Amino acid sequence: MNEEEQLMSEEEQLTTVREEATTVTPSVVPVKKREALFSKKNVQTLRDPLDDSNPVTVQVLGICSALAVTVQMKPALIMALGVTFVVAFSNLIVSMLRRTIPTRIRIIVQLIIVAMLVTIVDQLLKAYMFDISKKLSVFVGLIITNCIVMGRLEAFALAQRPWPAFLDGIGNGLGYGLILLVVAFFRELFGAGTLFGFKVVPQWAYDMGYVNNGLMVLPPAALFVIGIYIWWQRSRNRKLINAS
Amino acid sequence: MYELINIFIRAIFIENVIFAFFLGMCSFLAVSKKIKTASGLGLAVIFVMVLTTPLNYFILNYMLGEGALAWIHPSLASVDLTFLAFILFISTIAGAVQLVEMSVEKFMPALYASLGIFLPLITVNCSILGTSLFMQERQYTFAETAVFSLGAGVGFFLAIVLLAAIRERLRYSNVPQPLQGLGIAMIITALMGLAFLSFSGIKL
């Protein structure tokens, strides 16, 4: 099976999940025994997005921002925290409201919830970390349209109870953050010779003729790094080759 | 007039939303398997972009910006609601997409059948919101906004059709198995981005 068919099937899955979410009537909820907060299934929900169903490399979500904010590690870390916050809480809120949102206008409702959370993050950054906020520029606003948020809302939160949805949000935020930090690590190390702003490549290396790689500062470098990461991940974990 | 043409050309080539800013990558990578579907999405993006960016221009300049409310009453001239821009921009986009979807479904069923699945996807295409935010950041006038949004849409169309064409040819090449699909698509996009970088030296 080649990748196109798989993408297709993934899309179909998404739509079926959506349909399921829309056809569930409030009256047919079976009374279940209370699950432990960190039951096996919940831990699975939290851990899966870190590797096997990583939002960036496997689900193909949230790539735009992964490219733009990974020139240095510090903005990447802040961005990852912001996205984790937004995904987790929008998942929680939408999951709590899932029976009251009319399906026809659900996208608008979801976007408004997300936009509210993003506005909070944006205002907080402007108040306490102004220089980082300048560096991230429009990309904080673009968390609203970060496909991770919408993708998880549509695929998970609309059909699940609040606590698993919250965990799923945290997991996906961390999985996204992992990729962001890996990419930022290579780009900052080879592009500027620093990590988190500290000098890592010693001065004598420069004296001997070592030069920072200017390509790493340009956005395409992030695509190369993610592409190679995908290569490494899939050759290590062969079942992913057919999984996405 | 020259200024408008410059903005148009710049938006397509030099500041291409995909290759210069890497906005809208998700749908760019997910829907670029076949030229036909790719051009369908590209057309839908052009349409929504041209519709929503000028709409957001009016919202920004007559409701949100500093002193924008002065047309209601002079005492409101000091009100600055810019921090609401995200919420209102995205609601305009979502609302416009929903309206377009419903009216196309009702009046042009044939077009709906070919575009149908892509229309809701466009709401979360970062390039649409990105275009609105760039419009705000660069303080374009109305004419400039209209031309810029058309150029950005055409740029997206061009990029996605180019990538789809390359990926269709890729079927005949021998790519290492773990790299097939998403991995090689990323690397191709990176190479195309490098090629588009060569436009950046051009002064208009």
Whose tokens are 């981005």? That residue is B193
Binning pLDDT at 50, 70 and 90, where does residue B161 land? Answer: very high
Residue of A nearest to B17 (CA): A64
The reply to whether residue B181 touches residue A141, judged by beta carbons under 8 angstroms, is: no
Q: Are A196 and A73 in contact (CB under 8 A)?
A: yes
Q: Are A191 and A216 in contact (CB under 8 A)?
A: yes
CA-based diameter of chain A, in Å?
74
Find how far residue A37's CA is from the centre of its chain.
Answer: 23
Contacts of B111 (CB under 8 A, 6+ apart): B104
**Which site among B186, B187, B199 would you substitute to test the A interface, given the most A Cβ atoms closer than 10 Å to its Cβ?**
B186
Is A221 an 8 Å CB contact of chain B? yes
What's the gap in Å between the CA of A196 and the closest CA on chain B?
24
Cα A106 from Cα A134, distance rounded (Å): 32
CA angle B53/B56/B62 to nearest 5° reads: 140
Min mean pLDDT across A9-13, A157-161, A205-209, B77-81 is at: A9-13
Element (H, E) at A159: none
Short-list A203, A155, A158, CA closest to A24: A158
Binning pLDDT at 50, 70 and 90, where does residue A34 land? Answer: low
Is A18 an 8 Å CB contact of chain B? no
Q: Are B65 and B32 in contact (CB under 8 A)?
A: no
Cα A218 from Cα A129, distance rounded (Å): 24
Cα B159 from Cα B179, distance rounded (Å): 22
Binning pLDDT at 50, 70 and 90, where does residue B149 land? Answer: very high
Adjacent-strand bridge partners of A194: A199
Mean pLDDT, chain B, rounded, equals 83
- Collect contacts of B88-92 with beta carbons under 8 A, ≥24 apart: B88/B56, B88/B59, B88/B63, B88/B64, B89/B56, B89/B59, B89/B129, B89/B132, B89/B133, B90/A111, B90/A112, B90/A114, B90/A115, B90/A144, B90/A145, B90/B129, B91/A108, B91/A111, B91/A112, B91/A115, B92/B52, B92/B55, B92/B56, B92/B59
Quick one: angle between helices B35-59 and B142-170, nearest 10? Answer: 160
φ, ψ dihedrals at A198, nearest 5°: -90, 145
The reply to whether residue A107 touches residue B120, judged by beta carbons under 8 angstroms, is: yes
Contacts of A104 (CB under 8 A, 6+ apart): B98
- Top-confidence residue, A62 or A6: A62
What's the gap in Å between the CA of B161 and the closest CA on chain A?
16
**Which site among A1, A22, A64, A69 would you substitute to test the B interface, given the most B Cβ atoms closer than 10 Å to its Cβ?**
A64
Which is it for strands A194-195 and A198-199: parallel, antiparallel or unpaired?
A: antiparallel
What's the gap in Å between the CA of B9 and the closest CA on chain A?
21
What's the gap in Å between the CA of A24 and the closest CA on chain B?
21
Tokens of residue A128, six digits: 């306490």
Q: Are A202 and B150 in contact (CB under 8 A)?
A: no
- What's the pLDDT tens digit per position in A110-151? 888 888 898 888 888 888 888 888 777 667 877 877 778 888
Q: Which residues of A72-107 are buried (b: 16+ CB within 10 A; e: fewer)?
A: bbbbbbbbbebbbbbbbbbbbbbbebbeebeeeebb
Tokens of residue A244, six digits: 């996405």
Q: Which residues of A are less than 8 Å from B179 in CB distance?
A: 227, 230-231, 234
pLDDT at B153: 93
Q: Are B162 and B185 in contact (CB under 8 A)?
A: no
pLDDT at A22: 44
**Which site among B22, B52, B128, B131 would you substitute to test the A interface, given the most A Cβ atoms closer than 10 Å to its Cβ?**
B22
What's the gap in Å between the CA of B178 and the closest CA on chain A?
5
| The residue type at A226 | I
Q: Which residues of A are less than 8 Å from B177 in CB distance?
A: 234, 241
- Top-confidence residue, B64 or A169: A169
pTM for this model (two decimals): 0.77
CA angle A132/A136/A140 to nearest 5° reads: 115
Element (H, E) at A35: none
The reply to whether residue A64 touches residue B26, judged by beta carbons under 8 angstroms, is: yes
The reply to whether residue A144 touches residue B90, judged by beta carbons under 8 angstroms, is: yes
**SS3 call for A118:** helix
Number of H helices, E strands in chain A: 11, 2
Whose tokens are 């090449």? That residue is B173
> Is B140's pLDDT higher than 70?
yes
Cα A187 from Cα B117, distance rounded (Å): 36
The reply to whether residue A145 touches residue B124, judged by beta carbons under 8 angstroms, is: yes
- What's the pLDDT tens digit per position in A210-244? 888 878 888 888 888 888 888 888 888 777 765 44
Q: Are A111 and B91 in contact (CB under 8 A)?
A: yes
Q: Are B24 and B112 in contact (CB under 8 A)?
A: no
